[in-house]
Amino acid sequence: MRILVGEPKQERAVRTREVILRAAAAVFDECGYTGASISKIMNRSGVTQGGMYFHFKSKEALAHAVMASQQEFVQLPAGRDGLQRLIDITFHIAGELADNVLFRASVRLAVEQGELGIHDDTAYQEWAELFHTQLVAAQRDGELYEDVDVREFATVLVGAYTGTQIFSNAATHREDLPQRVAALWRYLLPALTDAQTRRGLRVQPCARAAAT
């Protein structure tokens, strides 16, 4: 890791932590938690042992941090908050699981954490909050049935989506995840909104920018 001359100490520390976190995510994705090691992460990041342990005291601490950084690893699609953006986000996440090694690692750790002795629902709660924000906007705009509990549905969607991507990963290494997400929405949307609103929604992946 190249340190910029004259870079303020606090900014350098923040940047070093980010470099370590991203290197750890890449190693966890390649090796899993058991196969990952502090030495592999140090080699990937280019950070010294002192720099590593200043920010993270153990591999478990790194795993916690990677899991809690899921949304930092993903740039969500733009759009007006509401039901269509919620749908678009779920398809975007499917694409990120295919293409974004950092995000994929954080999801892998979150799913496998029981085997690792880690119990942390931070990532799931953050996605539930994001989904809740979109549902609140949809409710405000009259897109949802009046009796929809948006807080409850946000958690239901996180659980349903998690199970869908796990099944897809086991079956096809997530190659069919977009199709499974589309099927998920075909069954969920009738519980949320009327037929007229459903006809105006796009339930398919948006075009994604080419990887750089």
Contacts of residue 116, Cβ cutoff 8 Å, sequence gap at least 6:
33, 34, 60, 63, 109
pLDDT of residue 113: 83
CB count, 10 Å around CB of 103? Answer: 23
Unique residue bearing structure tokens 């870079």: 7
Q: What is the pLDDT of residues 33-70, one digit of tens each?
A: 888 999 999 999 999 999 898 999 999 889 888 887 78
pTM beyond 0.85, yes or no = no
pLDDT of residue 176: 97
d(CA 60, CA 34) in angstroms, rounded, equals 10
| Regions of the chain short of the pLDDT cut 70 | 1-8, 115, 207-212
In whole angstroms, what separates CA 9 from the centre of its chain?
Answer: 30
d(CA 82, CA 191) in angstroms, rounded, equals 16
